[in-house]
A and B are shown apart, each in its own frame.
Chain A
Amino acid sequence: MVVELGHFALILALVVAGVQMVVPALGAWRGDGRMMAIGEPAALIQLGLLLASFIALGYAFTTSDFSVANVFQNSHSTKPMIYKISGVWGNHEGSMLLWVLILALFGAAVAAFGQNLPATLRARVLSVQASIAFAFCMFILATSNPFARLDPAPVEGQGLNPILQDPALAIHPPLLYAGYVGFSIAFSFAIAALIEGRTDAAWARWVRPWTLAAWLCLTLGIALGSWWAYYELGWGGWWFWDPVENASFMPWLAGTALLHSALVMEKREGLKVWTILLAILTFSLSLLGTFLVRSGVLTSVHAFAVDPERGVFILGLMVIFIGGGLALFALRAGELRQGGLFAPISREGGLVLNNILLTTACATVLVGTLYPLALEAVTGDKISVGPPFFNLTFGPLMLPLLLALPFGPFLAWKRGDIGGAAQRLFVAALVALVAVVVSLAVFQRGPWLAPFGIALGVFVMMGAISEIAHRVKLGSASREEVLRKIGNLPRSVIGTALAHFGVGLMVVGIVATSAYQTETVLVMKPGESADVAGYRLTFRGVSPSQGPNYREQIGTFEVTRGGEPVVALYPSKRIYNQPPQPTSEAGIHASWRGDLYTVLGDAQQDGAGYSMRIYFNPLVRFIWIGALIMSIAGCISLADRRLRVGAPIRGQRRRSSPQPAE
């Protein structure tokens, strides 16, 4: 009964979305205020219906109602409750329902918080937003109904893929989707602006908080996925340039570019046409990501849906939204007045460089991901495009970006002084040089470029610190003055510096772990020891154990350093009951130097020992800590009163921003 109600609520949501798509747009076109006003209640009702639908599916999962095909295929009665809940989105149908739910959530947020948007703009935004919701509700109902019943109902379910039964992966999809789908707001605003034929700084100020919110969710989501892959897949890697990873990375790159170009548009009314285009492209890449993962076209790590009918449907949706958006752009972009002229060396110039490099990097990932598919379709030739390709093409684009990054915030708008910026970065450059020497001394082997990579990361981090130090006049003003200035720093400035600091930290982690990871592969018998990165690991044997829905073999390592006990590590091998599938759980000891990462292999044929894999990953945590810092920085920026959702009213804005921009 509940399940049928959920199904019915989904159908109603489709109808409401249809109304919300058509009526407010018509109203905006005819200047009819009452028709436009339908947008807000419709958006809220749509959210309510989708929420009800989602809760109904959640109810079926938590009560293990195996008469629902989706629950039967993806759940099991003995599964822990958290994975029964995460099972709702751990499959194709449920995750698409989550997708539209989050879409509706963003739409409703515009309805609720967009009171000060011009009426026609708000009506059009809600209408475009509803058109996406309509299309995806249609997709779910036509090809991926999560509420389909089975008759007769099976007694037990088939279970969830064990590698997906993990806390990080339970919240990874919702975060990722909040990022993907959040960019729909930027898209809807862009389309609405093109229909209206005008955009201004206020437009950018409305769009930026939404983009920022989506961006920080996507950052967290990608980082969580990478962290999960690191500890779950068991070979110490954290990024594989897998097509499905790329699918989420492309919107992230474009979204990052969009955040920066919208800044130029907001402050200087420059880059208008480009910002609109980026807004369309960013969401297009989100749709492409959804298509790549959901259509099964890649059949890769995460592609759990292999069904051409769905692929064709999503492809159709993509053609409509991306094609329609770009066509509208081509027709109307000429009418948008460009403003905000500036010299090459200026804050704007720096942000343009950022955009050139980020969009090219994004395009490289796009081409690398799709090229093998396209080539095979056209010529039948099969080629592989893997990590060596991406490292070779993506890496060189990041170098100038990172090198230029610290200069950006030191350049004035319109026309900057590169010499002055360089002077202010003198200390940062000095610290970076020290970093070269230190890393040469600490890691005596490894590629000769690596110390410079680390130095680049340090330069970016120190650049961010220098910017804050310069703003609060550290070293030249009195202590009270500095403290007062610190208290008065706008949150967006703190957010920017912190995000850039996070980028630098991440770069240090990436370079250190890529260049200096050590791997030891050996056979160990109980009682034997191995020395890795200053640690001594003594293998104490393997014992069997029983988990809630799996059996496991747990290996025990005693780890000492300089004779002092440090920790005991328990790498294990599990076999899940349903589906009967083994997984490997790494035993990891994290410290500020890096991670000691142990993987239990198989018993040797003669029974006299186990094959072991012991990694030391220097500074690897910096990667995720960096991403976390970037997300926190996003939150801080979001809390800036000038960026508060719906804040932009001219009078208010003036009163609330007493600080000059530089």
Chain B
Amino acid sequence: MISCGHAMRCLRRMTALLAMLAVMAVSAPVQAVEPDEILPDPKLESRARALSLDLRCLVCQNQSIDDSNAPLARDLRLLVRERLKAGDSDADVMSYVVARYGDFVLLRPPFKWNTLILWLSAPVLLLAVGTMLWRSTVGAPRGGTINAAGPPLSRDEEARLANLLEVRASDPATPPDEGRPRQPG
């Protein structure tokens, strides 16, 4: 529906100009959602707006068709509304658009083999960083009431503990005259 030539022209404009907004400049009297696009049924319209937020304006940098004023974005907005009027469910509309434009059109990438790392990195990192930090500092049982079930302190650790408590005594947080280790808890 949109010729390659047109898309290329848009892209050339994009790079030629200093910033994204410039597109609005050259490409004419179109603003994001125009009054004439709005569907009379407010329920349908709000569904269309929600879907538009997840669809990428293909010739823009990182803009949804809801935000964009490029002509192609308008075409896509009208297409979404047409499908909704035809009675499609939200999922139907999305798969219709994806079938035509590919995954690139989705601002929230689908969960697939090639996006595994993308989607799993956050939970995996949370676990990894969490375990690393926790174990290196907190997790290891340091005796007494902190973790009664843990193994007893080794002689080395006892010495370190004594050393630490001594260090604490000269800690800045403790008034200088209070020369004894503070009771924990």
Give the B-binding residues of A (Cβ under 8 A): 161, 163-164, 233, 235, 237, 240-243, 267, 269-271, 273-274, 298-302, 304, 306, 338-344, 348-349, 352, 355-357, 359-360, 363-364, 367-368, 371, 375, 379, 381-389, 392-393, 397, 412-415, 417, 521-523, 581-584, 599, 601-603, 611, 613, 642, 653-654, 657-658, 660-662
Are B130 and A356 within 8 A (Cβ)? yes
Are A382 and B104 within 8 A (Cβ)? yes
Contact residues in A for B114 (Cβ distance below 8 Å)? 375, 379, 381, 383
Contact residues in A for B118 (Cβ distance below 8 Å)? 367-368, 371, 375, 385, 389
Are B21 and A163 within 8 A (Cβ)? yes
B89-131 residues with Cβ-Cβ distance < 8 A to A are: 102-109, 114-115, 117-118, 121-122, 125-126, 129-130
Q: A301-B19, A356-B126 are in contact. Are A235 and B67 (CB under 8 A)?
A: yes
Partner of A242, one of B34, B62, B167: B62
Q: A270-B137, A364-B122, A368-B118 are in contact. Are A299 and B129 (CB under 8 A)?
A: no
Are A392 and B137 within 8 A (Cβ)? no
**B21, B33, B176, most chain A CB atoms within 10 A:** B21
Contact residues in A for B139 (Cβ distance below 8 Å)? 344
Partner of A383, one of B109, B167, B172, B175: B109
Partner of B137, one of A233, A271, A657: A271
Interface stretch (choices B2-10, B53-61, B78-86): B53-61
Are A661 and B146 within 8 A (Cβ)? no
B9 CB, min distance to chain A CBs, angstroms: 16
Partner of A341, one of B25, B38, B53, B164: B164
Q: Is B44 an interface residue (CB 8 A)?
A: no
Bound together, the chains give a CA A340 to CA B161 distance in angstroms of: 10
Q: A356-B130, A382-B102, A660-B175 are in contact. Are A521 and B35 (CB under 8 A)?
A: yes
Q: A360-B129, A368-B118 are in contact. Are A661 and B173 (CB under 8 A)?
A: yes
User: Could you list some 6 contacts between A and B, CB below 8 A?
Assistant: A241-B62, A344-B139, A387-B53, A397-B122, A397-B126, A602-B31
Bound together, the chains give a CA A271 to CA B175 distance in angstroms of: 24
B56 CB, min distance to chain A CBs, angstroms: 5
Are A161 and B126 within 8 A (Cβ)? no
Bound together, the chains give a CA A342 to CA B138 distance in angstroms of: 6
A573 CB, min distance to chain B CBs, angstroms: 10
Are A386 and B107 within 8 A (Cβ)? yes
Partner of B31, one of A161, A359, A613: A613
Q: Is B136 an interface residue (CB 8 A)?
A: yes
Contact residues in B for A582 (Cβ distance below 8 Å)? 24-25
Q: Is B1 an interface residue (CB 8 A)?
A: no
4 additional A-B pairs beyond A161-B22, A355-B133, beta carbons within 8 Å, are: A344-B134, A356-B133, A388-B108, A642-B172
| Beta-carbon nearest neighbor of A658 in chain B | B175
Contact residues in A for B54 (Cβ distance below 8 Å)? 386, 388
Q: A387-B107, A660-B175 are in contact. Are A352 and B19 (CB under 8 A)?
A: no
Are A386 and B64 within 8 A (Cβ)? yes
Partner of A581, one of B25, B109, B136: B25
Contact residues in B for A414 (Cβ distance below 8 Å)? 184
A383 CB, min distance to chain B CBs, angstroms: 5
How many B residues face the partner with a CB closer than 8 A?
64
Are A611 and B173 within 8 A (Cβ)? no
Q: A274-B136, A352-B133, A417-B185 are in contact. Are A384 and B29 (CB under 8 A)?
A: no
Give the A-binding residues of B (Cβ under 8 A): 14-15, 17-22, 24-25, 29-35, 38, 53-54, 56, 61-64, 67, 102-109, 114-115, 117-118, 121-122, 125-126, 129-130, 133-134, 136-140, 142, 146, 161, 164, 167, 171-176, 184-185
A422 CB, min distance to chain B CBs, angstroms: 16
Contact residues in B for A415 (Cβ distance below 8 Å)? 146, 184-185
Are A386 and B117 within 8 A (Cβ)? no
7 A-B pairs with the lowest CB-CB distances in the bound complex, closest first: A386-B107, A661-B173, A388-B108, A602-B29, A161-B18, A300-B61, A364-B122
Are A267 and B173 within 8 A (Cβ)? yes
Bound together, the chains give a CA A170 to CA B1 distance in angstroms of: 42
Are A521 and B34 within 8 A (Cβ)? yes
Are A384 and B129 within 8 A (Cβ)? no
Contact residues in A for B29 (Cβ distance below 8 Å)? 602-603
| Beta-carbon nearest neighbor of A342 in chain B | B138
Are B121 and A367 within 8 A (Cβ)? yes
Are B53 and A388 within 8 A (Cβ)? yes
B70 CB, min distance to chain A CBs, angstroms: 13
Are A522 and B134 within 8 A (Cβ)? no
| Beta-carbon nearest neighbor of B178 in chain A | A660
Are B109 and A654 within 8 A (Cβ)? no
Are A611 and B31 within 8 A (Cβ)? yes
Are A384 and B56 within 8 A (Cβ)? yes
Contact residues in A for B109 (Cβ distance below 8 Å)? 383-385, 389
B166 CB, min distance to chain A CBs, angstroms: 12
**A233, A235, A243, most chain B CB atoms within 10 A:** A235
Q: A352-B134, A384-B109 are in contact. Are A611 and B56 (CB under 8 A)?
A: no
Q: A383-B103, A386-B107, A388-B53 are in contact. Are A360 and B126 (CB under 8 A)?
A: yes
Q: A601-B31, A611-B35 are in contact. Are A384 and B104 (CB under 8 A)?
A: yes
B66 CB, min distance to chain A CBs, angstroms: 9
Q: A274-B133, A521-B34 are in contact. Are A306 and B106 (CB under 8 A)?
A: no
**B18, B20, B105, most chain A CB atoms within 10 A:** B18
Bound together, the chains give a CA A653 to CA B170 distance in angstroms of: 11
Are A413 and B107 within 8 A (Cβ)? no
Bound together, the chains give a CA A81 to CA B57 distance in angstroms of: 37
Contact residues in B for A300 (Cβ distance below 8 Å)? 20, 61-62
Q: A233-B21, A356-B129, A417-B185 are in contact. Are A364 and B121 (CB under 8 A)?
A: yes
Are A367 and B19 within 8 A (Cβ)? no
Q: A356-B133, A367-B118 are in contact. Are A413 and B108 (CB under 8 A)?
A: no
